[in-house]
Every structure is written in C-alpha cells, then in structure tokens.
Amino acid sequence: MSLPAGYTVRPMRQEDAALIAERSGVYTAALLGFPKHSPEDVANYLRDPGIDLATDAWVVLGPDGDFAGSATAVPITGGTHLNLDILSENPAVLSWLLDQVEHRAAEVARHEVVVRVGVIRQDDRLAAVVAARGFAVGTSTHRMRISFDGPIPPPAVPEGVVVRRGAPDEASRRAAHGVLMEAFADQPGTLPRPFEDWAASRESRSTFDWSQVTVVEVDGRAVGMTECNHNFVSTDNCGYVGRLGVIPSARGRGLAKFLLQNAFAVDAAAGRTGTILHVDAGNPTPAVALYTNAGMHPDLTSDIWTRTVRNDRTWSSSTPPHRLFPA
C-alpha cells in the first residue's frame, strides 16, 4: 500500500528523540493519564548501537510537514526476533509503517523472524490495525511500581552471600552478563545481546553507569544481579530496575527478594519516591508474585502482539518495499 496523498517519509535521526518523546507522551498520556516513555528513554533508544536508523527507522510527515507517525524495527537475539515500536494516530499511516516493518523483517530473517509489538491495552486503534494484519497476542507485560512514604531499610544479606556493588571492570561486567545469559536462557526472546554489544549499549545510555549494577555471589560464583538506571527520574522521580536475574541453581534462597529490596533501599536513599520495573506476565519464574508480594502493583499493561515473517515470502509487485536509500 502507499502512504496517503501528500504524506512523505524520511529516515529517523537521533535529533528526532525530543519530537518523538513529545508526541509519544501526548498519545500515551491520553490513554493512561501519564506518558509511557521519558525523553531520556527515547534518546537512549535512538543512540543505542544496536539500531541502524538508516534501515530500521522511519518518520512520516503529513502534507503540512508536521509529524504524522514513526516506527522502529530492531532485530534482536541474532535476528530471530524483531522488536517494533510504532506511533501514529492515522490507521493508514500505521498500516504503511507495518508494510515497511514486514519487508525489513523478511530481509533480516535467516529463515523466519518473529515480529513483536507492544500495544498498551487501552490502545484500541493500534490493536485493531495489528490484528487485521495477522498479529496475535503472545504474552503481556506489566509495568510494576512501588511508591515510598519514607526511608527503606536495607535488607539483610542472606547467609553465605557476598554482595558486589558496581561493575567497574570487564571481569565484573562479564560476570553480570553471564548471570543474565543463564537466568534468561529459558526465555529466548529476552536474552541479552552478546557481551560486547550489551556492554556498548550500556555505555551509550545517559541514564546508566556501571555503579548501578549489583551482583551477588555464592561460593565465589556470580549467581544473581540487578541492573538499574535513571530512565524514570525526570518524569516520575523513580528508580528503574532494567534487569533482575538469578540463575536456576541458586533460586529458592531469597536472592531475588534481596536484590529487589536492595533496589528499593538504594532508590529511597537517593531521594526517589518509588521504583519501577517491567515484567513479562508469562515469565516461567514466579517473578510477578515476587513483585506483588513486595508491594509493587501494575500501572500499565501492554499486550505483546506477534507475527512470524519468513524470508521466502513473495511480495506483490504492486507493493514493493519502500527503500530510504538505494539498494
């Protein structure tokens, strides 16, 4: 399909971060009562070394030159999955952007790629568009939050556990990454990137530094970790737990509870009024119960719609892929 008459497209640029954050904030606040993303979160995403803005991101402009929509389609987990973020109030623009995403998915797929898009549960417009394109809900994610009304005492360290605060060198960073790889091995769509890519992505973020990593060890081996950042400080004055993982052989010892309570205490001591994290409702570990029992509650739920695209797909000559640059 083509864009509506008078609409144009260009590649996304890093300097678009403020515009996209503003438009996304208006759109999501109308649905939720608050913006889903902070400006820092959007800027970090666009500067991440894992995204190629020339091939994986689009900005659509209306006849008056004003913003009409955007999308990013970022391959992850070695190209087996492609994460889509899409924004427009115009269903025709949404459909056109989905065309570009599916063409891009077919290009990057070795055999097939799972395209995933998170849709706020209140967003009936986007849900209808992706459903009409053959997407189906695979799982849901909750944004969990806890608010503080005073200091949070640091939790007692479990017996036999050594706590390492910060990851100042490559050895400590590799230990933290190794925990993530083992902890999320049964969730292939959420595996972290290879170490070098993972570390580079963290270095690119304005809201993160390596002092925000905490690793717990048992018998000299790293078995659990948290990776926190300041993504929601400017908008919510909340800390954010980007990752929390414990390897399977070390579960059942209270390490996840310790790491979570430790994050609360660190945030409260820094003057934050709460802590936020995201969790997959289909997580095979009892993560949702852990967070709920700790006093967290969901303030946003997104359904994760998925569709499998194969690289042997035959495209109609009437709908050629739109290329931002010559092939």
207-232, pLDDT tens digit by residue?
A: 999 999 999 999 999 999 999 999 99
- pLDDT value at position 161? 98
User: Tokens 């902890």, residue?
Assistant: 183
User: Tokens 């799972």, residue?
Assistant: 114
Residue type at position 73: A
CB 46 within 8 A of CB 71: no
CB 216 within 8 A of CB 222: yes
Domain 146-300 falls under CATH 3.90.480.10:
no
**Angle (nearest 5°) at CA 179 between 176 and 182:** 150
- pLDDT value at position 110? 77
Q: From residue 202, how far is each of 173, 211, 279, 290 by CA, in Å?
A: 11, 12, 20, 26
- pLDDT value at position 312? 62
Using alpha carbons, select from 62, 70, 65 the residue that is nearest to residue 11. Answer: 70
What average pLDDT score do residues 62-84 get? 91
pLDDT category at 310 given cuts 50, 70, 90 is confident
Which of the four CATH numbers 3.30.465.10, 3.40.30.10, 3.40.630.30, 3.40.50.300 does domain 8-134 have? Answer: 3.40.630.30
* pLDDT(315) > 50: no
Q: Which residues contact 241 (CB under 8 A, 6 or more apart)?
A: 226, 227, 228, 260, 263, 275, 276, 277
Domain ranges of the chain: 8-134, 146-300
Helix (H, G, I), strand (E, B) or coil at 312: coil
* pLDDT(21) > 50: yes
Between 146 and 324, the more confident residue is: 146
Residue 116 half-sphere exposure, CB side, CA atoms within 13 Å?
A: 20
Quick check: do 8-134 and 146-300 share a fold?
yes
Residue 90 to residue 70: CA distance in whole angstroms: 11
* pLDDT(45) > 60: yes
- pLDDT value at position 23? 97
**Angle (nearest 5°) at CA 24 between 145 and 82:** 80
Q: What is the pLDDT of residues 48-59, one digit of tens each?
A: 999 999 999 999
Q: From residue 64, how far is each of 17, 48, 153 by CA, in Å?
A: 20, 31, 55
* pLDDT(75) > 80: yes
- pLDDT value at position 108? 82
Helix (H, G, I), strand (E, B) or coil at 145: strand
Kindly report the average pLDDT of the chain as a whole number. 91
Residue 299 to residue 277: CA distance in whole angstroms: 11
Beta strands in the chain (DSSP E): 8-11, 57-61, 67-76, 81-87, 112-120, 136-147, 161-165, 213-218, 221-229, 238-246, 274-280, 297-310
- pLDDT value at position 160? 96
pLDDT category at 188 given cuts 50, 70, 90 is low
Q: What is the pLDDT of residues 130-179, one digit of tens each?
A: 999 999 999 999 999 999 988 999 999 999 999 999 999 999 999 999 99
